[in-house]
Structure 1
Amino acid sequence: MKFEVMRDRLLEALNNVMKAVSSKTTVQILTGIKIEAKQEGIYLTGSDADITIQTFIPVEEDGEQIVQLTQTGSIVLQARFFNEIVRKLPTNDVMIEVKNNFQTDIRSGKSEFHLIGQDANDYPLLPQMEEDQSFTIPAELVKSIIRETVFAVSTSESRPVLTGVNWQIKDGELMCVATDSHRLARRSTKLENGPSEAYNAVIPGKSLNELNKILEDNSDPVEIVLTSQQILFKAGNVLFYSRLLEGNYPDTSRLIPSEHKTLVVVNGRALHQAIDRASLLAREDRNNVVRFTTQGQSAVEVSSNSPEIGKVEEQVLAEQIEGEELVISFSAKYMMDALKAIEGHDVQIQFTGVMRPFILKSAHDDAILQLILPVRTY
């Protein structure tokens, strides 16, 4: 194998595949990156068995030569070292050549590295995907869905299925739900070209976080291919595979109250900032709890009290308050996460009682719903 490639394009591809490489893997070859030189371009693959990412560098793009291929072939190189070497090479021209016994030369300017590679035939194959169940959505929308749900997944391995986000497709609608049993985040979206069959899968939160980073500057629509054990996201020259979590996701629709006793409409950004300030004194406390009190029909009070440090009270004007008066306590972090997901618009909060879950949604649409369990403070 022998080819020359532009360093900045190689680095960009490496940045993506490195997100799937774990130093903790017990499978030695997975600490490496598989490089394949083919007539059409260079393929790089990284995997930790749960996530597999493949990127492609074409020989030519928009009339510009990116790769000069002398000989096709493949090799697996130690990911950490290869990534560091490419990052620090002196010029934008990189020559990679594999000789006998997987000896690999990397040359750039007057700099020359010799790495010992591994046989690419020992590297696991990409998951086989039947493409009968697929649909396309804009990259921006995928990023929004991840941002509005993934923070609510559980970090505890005691119920592995809750460490993922449940994606359900039914009747042309995609419903994404995450919960750690103290809070819940739900995002629904209509699919214009969704699959005809219903689909239900749980995608690991870790996979979605990594995908979100890769979609950073990628404005191409994302094609999503579904199977019973894997999901594949295709974005531009990147393929992102993730295994799915096993087990049945709990039916969360029963948790969402259908009626309320108190309704508050308030500016989300103003409330977020007030809770952030109130939590300054609550942080010492293990639960980081703040108190929320309705005041007549025009304001709410956000307060927190720490016996050793002091207390804080702040009034936030409300657009609308109706129903019963209310004093309720909740985790400042959970509330700020939920408000951040709704993104600073006017927020409608529906309460059904002091110790009952309450829901937040945008005052303008129902696409995003957040649910939080209150905290008993007496």
Structure 2
Amino acid sequence: MITEICVSAEELNQTLEYVSLISGAGNNKSKGKEKDAKQLSGVLKITATSPRKNKKYMLCFECLGLSEQLLYRMEGKSYNSAESAVTQVECWRLAALAKTFSGDITLRFEERCLGVICGTSTYKIATISIELPRLEAPDGKNALTLSVDFLQSAVKHCSPAVPKDDVREWLKCIQLQLHADGSACCYATDTHRLARYTANNTGSKADVTLMMTPASLQHIIDMCDQNEITIIPTERYVYANTPRFDWFCYAISGNFPDCEGVFKRHKPLMSITVDRRKLLNAINRASIISDTNSDNRIKLASDTQALYVESGSVAGNGLDSIPVEAFDGSDDKAYAVSALSFSKIISACASENISITTHGLLQPLMICAPGSMNGYLLAGMR
């Protein structure tokens, strides 16, 4: 018997957007096992069941990426059946087709195709015989219930220090040091930028350290429609679930540096506070004149009245002066930094003012909101 299930186009598109984020990962040049994973990454498995046989359906959308797997649930209803149905199709094709529809869509589960019907439009997508591995939930004894707001804040703050391309997988992660009292310290580094984010209301009730990429964390944050999410770390992977979805990614291992030790090692010489927006505008102007071959190198210097941003190259030179809001200590040295890295950090800060602390020539600058433990270390340049 053919099963027809009616779903909301809006909800279907939202579901397919989430699964596409996972299944869309891949590299056309992958070889061996990676090539097999690439072939599986485009497959979408849809399982429809009516638990109470009352024609109200739960549809489970399963997909696999190179490092993540997802099962996402949505509701539907049928007018002709209460039987279970399952099919597998190309994820991108169904997602692209669904985007063109609005209102209600009927999914028609046939033996060799999935019918997609909306208004006067009828399409059939051929099924695929490749089987996806089964996603099984691990033992919940190590389960952590974490605040979604905490995870989002950690990702937003630490991402500017995460390198996009690096052969060391652990370096592309955010390290989350969770504590049983609900506090946490999160770190990220690309070896010349170091981010620290602290929080007190994470929801954690155990001492656990996790390493996850910003992309993986953002995936589960975006999919979560509640204030909390359950995460179960194991030796092989990290599992997360809510009533709406089950997800896992492979665990990443590596020797993360002692980031807190790096922060504690530097002794402040001078601290100044300036308006964040004025500083960001000055950096952006300076980067236009600075030398692109030297990572847009600029110089910073200050006195009790102003912070000076100087740039120079064969293209010209420039000097900006930003009034100082607060000043403490003494340091008459000029510090060279990358305008691109500096701008990225300043842009990530949400405060109205920015505090910059020096620690000596060729030592990193500390950048944070005034009085905050959450901040960045930015390595200097010669």
Percent of paired sites with the same residue: 17
Q: Which amino acid aligns with 1:110?
A: T
2:105 aligns with one of 87, 94, 98: 94
Q: Are the aligned partners of 1:203 and 1:243 in contact in 2 as well (CA < 8 Å)?
A: no
Matched residue type, 1:37: A
Q: After superposition, give the CA deviation of every residue in 1:289-317 in whole Å (9 maximum; x if it has no partner).
A: 1110112x12110111112x111111011
CA gap 1:240/1:362 in 2 versus in 1, 3 angstroms: farther
How far is the alpha carbon of 1:178 from its aligned partner?
Answer: 0.7
3-state DSSP of counterpart to 2:362: coil
**More off after superposition, 329-338 vs 111-120:** 111-120
1:327 to partner: Cα distance: 0.5
The two structures have a TM-score, normalised by structure 1, of 0.87
SS at match of 1:314: strand
Residue by residue, what CA displacement relative to the aligned partner does 1:274-295 show, whole Å, maximum 9, x if unpaired?
1112112126344111110112
In the TM superposition, residue 112 of structure 1 has moved relative to its aligned partner by: 1.5
Gaps of 5+ in 2: 28-33, 51-56
Give the equivalent residue in structure 1 for 2:9: 7
Query: How do 1:209-288 residues align onto structure 2 when only pairs under 5 Å count?
Result: 209-211=218-220, 213-214=222-223, 218=225, 220-234=227-241, 237-256=244-263, 257-282=265-290, 284-288=292-296
- Paired residues in the alignment total 361
In 2, Cα distance between the equivalents of 1:67 and 1:330?
62
Q: CA deviation at 1:127?
A: 4.5
When normalised by structure 2's length, the TM-score is: 0.86
Q: Does residue 82 of structure 1 match 2:98?
A: no
Partner of 2:44: 33
Tell me, in whole angstroms, the C-alpha distance in 2 between the residues paired with 1:166 and 1:115. Answer: 42
SS in 2 for 1:208: helix
Q: Is 1:57 the equivalent of 2:65? A: no
Contact 2:49 2:82 (C-alpha < 8 Å) held by counterparts: no
Question: Could you tell me how far 1:219 is from its partner in structure 2?
Answer: 5.6
State the AA in 1 paired with 2:84.
T
Residues 1-378 of structure 1: pairs in structure 2 closer than 5 A = 1-22=3-24, 24=27, 26-27=35-36, 28-39=39-50, 40-59=57-76, 70-89=82-101, 91-100=102-111, 102-119=112-129, 122-172=131-181, 173-191=183-201, 193-196=203-206, 198-211=207-220, 213-214=222-223, 218=225, 220-234=227-241, 237-256=244-263, 257-282=265-290, 284-295=292-303, 297-307=304-314, 309-321=315-327, 322-366=329-373, 368-376=374-382
Equivalent residues of 1:153, 1:162 under 8 A apart: yes
What is the identity, as a one-letter code, of the residue corresponding to 1:113? Answer: Y
Deviation (angstroms), 1:244: 2.1
Residue type of the partner of 2:278?
A
Q: Distance in 2 between matches of 1:19 and 1:67?
A: 28
Q: Separation in 2 of the partners of 1:131 and 1:51?
A: 19
In 2 relative to 1, CA 200–107 (structure 1 residues): closer, same or farther, beyond 3 Å? same
Question: What is the identity, as a one-letter code, of the residue corresponding to 1:312?
Answer: G
- The C-alpha deviation readout for 1:190-221, integer Å capped at 9, x for no partner, is 2463133x212211233234445546xx4633
Question: 2:31 matched to which residue of 1?
Answer: none
Aligned partners of 2:124 and 2:83: how far apart in 1?
Answer: 18
What secondary structure is seen at the aligned counterpart in 2 of 1:71? coil
Give the secondary structure class of the aligned counterpart of 2:93: helix
Shift of 1:45: 1.9
Instruction: Say if 1:36 and 1:75, in contact at 8 Å, map to a contact too.
Output: yes
Q: Which moved more, 1:130-139 or 1:165-174?
A: 130-139
Q: CA separation in 2, counterparts of 1:92 and 1:8?
A: 7
Contact 1:285 1:306 in 2 (8 A): no
| Closer/same/farther in 2, CA of residues 192 and 29 from structure 1, 3 Å limit | closer
1:149-204 deviations in Å (ceiling 9; x for gaps) = 123112333322101111111343222111010111111112463133x2122112
| Structure 1 residues 109 and 175, CA gap change in structure 2 (3 angstroms) | same
CA RMSD of aligned residues (A): 2.3
Contact 2:170 2:253 in 1 (8 A): yes
The amino acid of 1:96's aligned partner reads L
What CA distance in whole angstroms lies between the structure 1 residues aligned with 2:180 and 2:149? 23
Give the residue type in structure 2 aligned to 1:373: A
Q: Cα gap change, 1:292/1:57 in structure 2, threshold over 3 Å: closer, same or farther?
A: same
Amino acid at match of 1:34: K
CA contact (8 A) 1:303 1:314 kept: yes
Would the aligned equivalents of 2:137 and 2:239 in 1 still touch at CA under 8 Å?
no
For structure 1, the 5+ residue unaligned runs are: 60-65
